[in-house]
Amino acid sequence: MCGIVGHLGNQNAAGILLEGLKRLEYRGYDSSGLAVLQDGSLAVTKRVGRVKELIGAIKQAPVESTIGICHTRWATHGEVTEENAHPHLSSDGKITLVHNGVIENYNTLRSFLTSKGFSFSSETDTEVLCNLIAYHYAKEAETAEGSRFATSVRKALLHVEGTYGLAALCANCPDEMVGARHGSPLIQGVGREEILLASDVAALVSRTPDVVYMNDGELVHIVGNQFSLTTLDSEDIKPVINTVDWDVSEGELGDFEHYMLKEIFEQPTALENAMRGRFSQDGSTAKFGGLNITPQDLRQIDRILLCACGTAWHACLTMEFLIEKYARIPVEVEYASEFRYRNAPLDKNTLVMVVSQSGETIDTLAALRESKRKGYTTLAITNGVGSTIARESDGGIYQHAGPEVGVASTKAFTSQLMIGSILALYLGRLRDMSFNDGVEMVEGLKQIPSLVEKIVQLSEDIHRIAKKYVHKQDFLFLGRQSMFPIALEGALKLKEISYIHAEGYPAAEMKHGPIALISEDCPSLFIATEPDTLSKVVSNMQEVKARKGQLIVVRSESCTMPEGLADDEMVIPDCHPVAAPILASIPVQLLSYHIAVERGCDVDKPRNLAKSETVE
């Protein structure tokens, strides 16, 4: 949700900034802009549309400077227009600002600034903050030039209510850049002859592996290739430089047409990486390096609360099923956005776990903070190494799925399911699960990558099926038990990338309402992989067929269908029950992908969405 890059060094900034911005485009892509300090004044270029529009504009009218900031926007305040795009420029031309977050008291501040003679050309909260910095800059005329700009940012932020990750330049300060963070991520890249700022390490790793993850309430003042980190109250902070282990080529598209397809095909590797080093030597249980909670303490846990948003919430629903089944610990799943405002009764033996691909989702972060504030032990499952959620939780498990660029989550989802399965095994073995059951489960988990490899090879067959359903406007996704979350995820995937209305339900719930939707125009996708409930699911399918509904079935090899019942089938291999949710997810992802591409949709950047929701 909005991407920021800033650069101060001794090379031309524009190319470096735009390369970084391309890598952050998944965060927002309705407009973008770039500002540099050129010949003593701030030159701002903005374009509506994708970053490539901005790149084209800079090619036509190149800018020359070693200092600059840029931004790709996901609109919060004001429509998608050039005026509302960032960077904003203060009305006195002194300050330019890029910002991710929401300034909640911007109306009050705007009235104040208008009374002081500042004017506005956009509807955004960011322009208000930009003018507020300029107001303080003018007021600080007496302050020595070396600290005047940073002081004015600091003073402005003390009057702000809301969230921000920001980078600012001042027309009078050719070798200074100021960044600050509260609630929205900001990371510094520390190169040999350059310092960068960005919302995500993805924008930095091609320049430097050395980064400083800023925390809320911190401000960085960069002067040349030196920087100082302080609190908003000017207390010095010793920066911790982390070295990021990130292969830049992992984030490249390669031979694939879309990141989403690439990431679907990367699942065997991502799942292998999620398992690597996590099984005990005797092959009957698991081990995790970073839980920071002893087996003794884990045995005392009598309830687990799982919090997440979107796809990660669906992963939590599957984890609930797995942990209750294999570890016999009661689990509850909450939308993080609801939990944070609800005073849910928890007792001291409750373990709170948050799940987030990015590790930056603001609602999930808020749920984590609220749980910590109440004194609960917190764990995080995240793909975001060094992310805010990873840093603020008491312990956690990294997914190691590699960068996920497509806005629609695929490999991160299945790797969360893998981590959840291994965790269920571990917790189960700490309690009642037998050695033999543990060994069998480990064997079942180890087979997953090769089985997934076989399923992704069905892509072209699934493509042929997809073509038959391209013009449908409604879809039902149905599954029972551990397949219900996969049905929900299937419906989310289809709607977010193809804009087809889709709903997920437990198959048996169909008769309590959704059956009213069934017609020739509303196909149903059933997931039938569990022999125990197969006969019931087949009855539900027959109810659909009786109402002229088309049937697409994802089934396991041994869950055979009555002749002629399914219109289309996608068959996955038989497997240990723990593996079934992961395996069943793959055909559902591929079907959504191919339908969306056939409809001409931009699957990697679906309308109105952003990969990482860092504002509420």
Catalytic residue ranges: 2, 611
342 Cβ partners below 8 Å, 6+ apart?
334
CA dihedral 434, 439, 443, 445 (to 10 degrees): 50
Answer for which of 45, 76, 208, 311 binds ligand AGP (CB under 6 A) is 311
Q: Within 475-514, which residues bind ligand AGP (CB under 6 A)? A: 496
Asked if 409 interacts with ligand AGP (CB under 6 A), we say yes
Stretch that binds ligand AGP, among 8-16, 157-165, 353-361, 467-475 (CB under 6 A): 353-361
Residue 266 φ/ψ, nearest 5 degrees: -80, -5
Site for ligand AGP in 312-351 (CB under 6 A): 312
Binding part of the chain for ligand AGP, among 64-72, 206-214, 354-362, 464-472 by CB under 6 A, reads 354-362
486's CB contacts (< 8 A; 6+ apart) are 314, 318, 479, 527, 581, 584, 585, 588
Question: Least distance in Å: CB of 607 to ligand AGP?
Answer: 12
Nearer to ligand AGP, 48 or 381 (CB): 381
Q: What are phi and psi of 182, to 5 degrees?
A: -155, 100
Output the CA angle 568-570-574, nearest 5 degrees: 140
Question: For ligand AGP, which is the closer residue by CB, 350 or 409?
Answer: 409
Q: Among candidates 520, 562, 521, 573, which has minimal Cα distance to 540?
A: 562
CB closer to ligand AGP out of 188 and 409? 409
Out of 408, 419, 442, 510, which residue is the one contacting ligand AGP (CB under 6 A)?
408
Rounded least distance, CB 389 to ligand AGP, Å: 8
Q: Which amino acid is at 612?
A: S
407 binds ligand AGP (CB under 6 A): yes
Among 358, 388, 414, 592, binds ligand AGP (CB under 6 A): 358
Instruction: Give the one residue of 37, 129, 309, 351 binding ligand AGP; rule: CB under 6 A.
Output: 309
Binding to ligand AGP in span 215-244, by CB under 6 A: none
Give the footprint of ligand AGP on residues 9-68 (CB under 6 A).
none
Q: How far is the CB of 369 from ligand AGP (least distance, A)?
A: 14
Using the contact rule CB under 6 A, the part of the chain among 57-65, 199-207, 305-313, 448-456 near ligand AGP is: 305-313
Q: What are the φ/ψ torsions at residue 34 (nearest 5 degrees)?
A: -145, 140
Give the shortest CB-556-to-ligand AGP separation in angstroms: 25
Instruction: Report the residue number, 65 or 592, with the smaller CB distance to ligand AGP.
Output: 592
Stretch that binds ligand AGP, among 176-184, 407-415, 429-437, 580-588 (CB under 6 A): 407-415
Q: Which part of the chain contacts ligand AGP (CB under 6 A), choosing from 96-104, 306-314, 325-333, 576-584?
A: 306-314
Comparison of 183 and 310: residue with beta carbon closer to ligand AGP: 310
- Spell out, one character per residue from 362 to 381, where the chain touches ligand AGP: x when CB under 6 A holds, - when not: --x-----------------
Query: Which one among 90, 131, 357, 498 touches ligand AGP, defined by CB under 6 A?
Result: 357
Q: Are 69 and 96 in contact (CB under 8 A)?
A: yes
From candidates 91, 356, 388, 524, binder to ligand AGP by CB under 6 A: 356
- Which residues are registered as beta bridge partners of 524? 476, 551
By CB under 6 A, tell whether 592 contacts ligand AGP. no
Q: Near ligand AGP by CB under 6 A, which window of 179-187, 210-218, 401-409, 519-527?
A: 401-409
Instruction: Tell whether residue 415 is a contact of ligand AGP (CB under 6 A).
Output: no
Closest CB to ligand AGP belongs to which residue?
310
The pairing of beta strand 524-528 with beta strand 474-479:
parallel
Distance between the two ends of the chain, CA-based, in angstroms?
10
Kind of pairing between the strands at 331-335 and 303-308: parallel
For residue 247 the two structure tokens come to 């292969």
Residue type, 209: P
Residue 461 burial (C-beta neighbours within 10 Å; 0-12, 13-18, 19+): middle
Q: Shortest approach of ligand AGP to residue 571 CB, angstroms?
A: 25
When asked if residue 390 is in the footprint of ligand AGP (CB under 6 A), the reply is no
Give the nearest distance from C-beta 439 to ligand AGP in angstroms.
32
Is 475 in a helix, a strand, or coil? strand
Give the interface segment with ligand AGP, choosing from 133-141, 226-234, 464-472, 606-614 (CB under 6 A): 606-614
Nearer to ligand AGP, 135 or 413 (CB): 413
Q: How many residues sit in the footprint of ligand AGP (CB under 6 A)?
A: 16
Task: Give the Cα separation of 516 and 586 in Å (integer).
Answer: 28
Beta-bridged to residue 197, according to DSSP, are 6, 188
Tell which one of 310, 428, 449, 504 touches ligand AGP (CB under 6 A): 310
**Rounded to the nearest whole angstrom, what is the least distance from the CB of residue 317 to ligand AGP in the complex?**
13
Strand partners, 44: 35
Residue 473: exposed, middle, or buried by beta-carbon count in 10 A (0-12, 13-18, 19+)? Answer: exposed
Which residue carries 């001291």 as its tokens?
348
Q: Which of 66, 84, 199, 361 binds ligand AGP (CB under 6 A)?
A: 361
Question: Which three-class secondary structure string do you get for 196-240?
Answer: EEECCHHHCCCCCCEEEECCCCEEEEEECCEEEEEECCCCEECCC
CA distance 251 to 262: 10
- Residue 110 to residue 441: CA distance in whole angstroms: 60
**Which residue carries 């735009």 as its tokens?**
18
- For ligand AGP, the binding residues (CB under 6 A) are 309-312, 356-358, 361, 364, 407-409, 496, 609, 612-613
